[in-house]
Structure 1
Amino acid sequence: MQPRRIVLLGSTGSIGTQAIDVVDGAPHLFEVVALSAGGGNLELLARQAVHTGAAAVGIAGGDPGRLESLIREAAAAAGRPGYRPEIVAGPDASARIASVEADVVLNGITGSIGLAPTLAALKSGATLALANKESLIVGGSLVKAAAREGQIVPVDSEHSAIAQCLRSGTGGEVDKLILTASGGPFRGRSREELHGVTPQEALAHPTWDMGVMVTTNSATLVNKGLEVIEAHLLFDIPLDRIDVVVHPQSVVHSMVQFVDGSTIAQASPPDMRLPIALGLGWPARVPRAASPCDWTQAATWTFEPLDAEAFPAVGLAKDAARQGSTFPAVFNAANEEAVTAFHAGRIRFTDIVDTVDSVLSEHPGSSGLTVESVLDAESWARARAHERLAVSSL
């Protein structure tokens, strides 16, 4: 059996680097044929290119000439002086790399900038291993219309868990989807206690090591709100049948409750290599992709209800999803602007979700969903958020 040909988008980020670990552990199953990255870490991208032997390498920003030089240096050091991949540069580099002939495209880009690469990957006919939840959330019906049945395989740990649990029954037997949340660094705090938390505290996630945006979104639970929208779109389950429960240990990644009263849970130590491996190999499992739970050791798992007053982001995300159209795109864009302002010291932590709420309340919506309407809505949301943030700055 020939190895699956893999394209990695966002290869220098957390998802991309761990995906290369998965490929390294199973070279008989996978080979990387193309890579892309934003261009902020050209040295790492050059080393990845040489290490994987990718035939094409893309960068959205940065100097392609410098990347070419770094690849030559890395190739010479690795004893592969003849290695010369095709270099694709420019804002559309990831979308062009996503169109490379492959079996699986892993979209590990962060943010709604991943929409065009997601659509390009679906158009190519490859399986899309989707870690870029924002492209599905803001693209909504656009992405769903472009995908054939079973073409999208989720890589978020929660949605990968649900996909695994759903194999225990038919669609008609599903009662609820239950997404678990660690609760982030501020679990148990009241809204009043959250007013004065610092950016450094918001980045001290108790379980996962992620970038600034995703880690902050986990602290506000905006990330969980986005995941609720993603689950709704991926699995065609109504929003009122998708619940969130706080599970601080982050071992049960999500659950499916069936109509007969049974609940199936997927459990594993927190390690993104497991859902990444499933995304690359679906529906087959990759042996030893990650370490299992150690059942010889005592352990306690706890589950708590979500405090919607202190963390209103999940309810706000559901409201945006119910309104549909470009409202999820506005939710996401306004949040990104507010998170940036928070880390610049211009607003309080609780102002992040309050800003999103205010911008959503003013959004006029759109008559239809197109790439252009999504981009226009995001531009409007960012501009309106800036205006709001200027008023609420500390």
Structure 2
Amino acid sequence: MLQGKRILLIIGGGIAAYKSLELIRRLRERGASVTPVLTRAGAQFVTPLSVSALAGEAVHDELFDLTAEAEMGHIELSRAADLVVVAPATADLMAKMAGGHADDLASTLLMATDKRVLIAPAMNVRMWQHPATQRNLATLIADGVLTVGPNAGDMACGEFGPGRMAEPMEIVAAIEAALTDGPLEGRRILVTSGPTHEPIDPVRYIANRSSGAQGAAIARALAALGAEVTFITGPASVPPPQGVQIVPVETAREMLEAVQAALPVDAAVFAAAVADWRVKEAAGTKLKKDGSGRPPRLEFAENPDILATIAQMQEGRPRLVIGFAAETHDVIAHATEKRARKGCDWIVANDVSPATGIMGGAENAVTLITAEGAESWPRMSKEEVARRLAARIAEALGEDG
């Protein structure tokens, strides 16, 4: 799949840079050509000679190369490739990309390119989990940057956790996926995401703590596999994904209408945290204290059950209907019962009790409930959960023909 493809490989400064040598070898085995760019920090971990010998091309490391820049070398380098890969993508490089900095050859190439960019983050676990890195990651993903990893495991610094760069063959697979028509090409899939806001009066509403991060990640992963994605989102706190059709809604009833309008689809993923209840009649003006010390009397009504409505359709039902179950106890038992009661094909269950930090966090630990039973996945980033789920969806739709 990589025969004749040109990869611009930017090697950042981290101990994981040694894996970039194996990555070059694996890419060339598959017929790709690799143009290497070595940052100043990267050259502290691997030598230009070793990189050049494996790539079969000269290493580029200077922005102000008079010979190259006479022909606008950084522009040509950034656009001659089929894909730009950053491995390892250090915290510093990710910060430069997110902030739009261009103060060396690598960051300038990333600003000047018109091609897709794939990053393989690698750093200490504390650096990976730092709020600044997670903000930068969210910005890059929203900008359409593809990611692979990081993995969890032992680190050179002696700590354990997420931050290890993906293995070379994992990166090769991600490169192949980025450069080929995905297995979901021609498939239409809808994804719901985020919370819903159910108004009490013009300034107050009922909601929950969902950030919308998992739903957005799922939409991105499905689009990366070639699907045409309709992304129906409540008022989420994370930016929506690029490359999908975005339908913003506020309430559960609006979300149901948007879902029905998006049909027919091949699959539907209901990741939104929809409010079960709403105030029956929202006040037209702000509710005020009346001096009695008594709270206002609110009458509630049940919201429509979007998952059950679609899963139990007699005509036009998506071939694959997937729900989510956010539970705080007896997760698998509750999710298994929910799958049967709602009539959906799969349930993605997770424990959102406060101690897990999952609701609104960057990681998730889920159990996939199907007719065959329960399959627990290890705790991983929400992006990795999304990629794994998207791959399973592609497999299921492929089996259906």
**TM (normalized to structure 2)?**
0.32
Higher strand share: 2
Could you say which structure has the larger radius of gyration? 2
> With CA pairs under 8 Å and 6+ residues apart, which has the higher RCO, 1 or 2?
1
Bigger helix share: 1
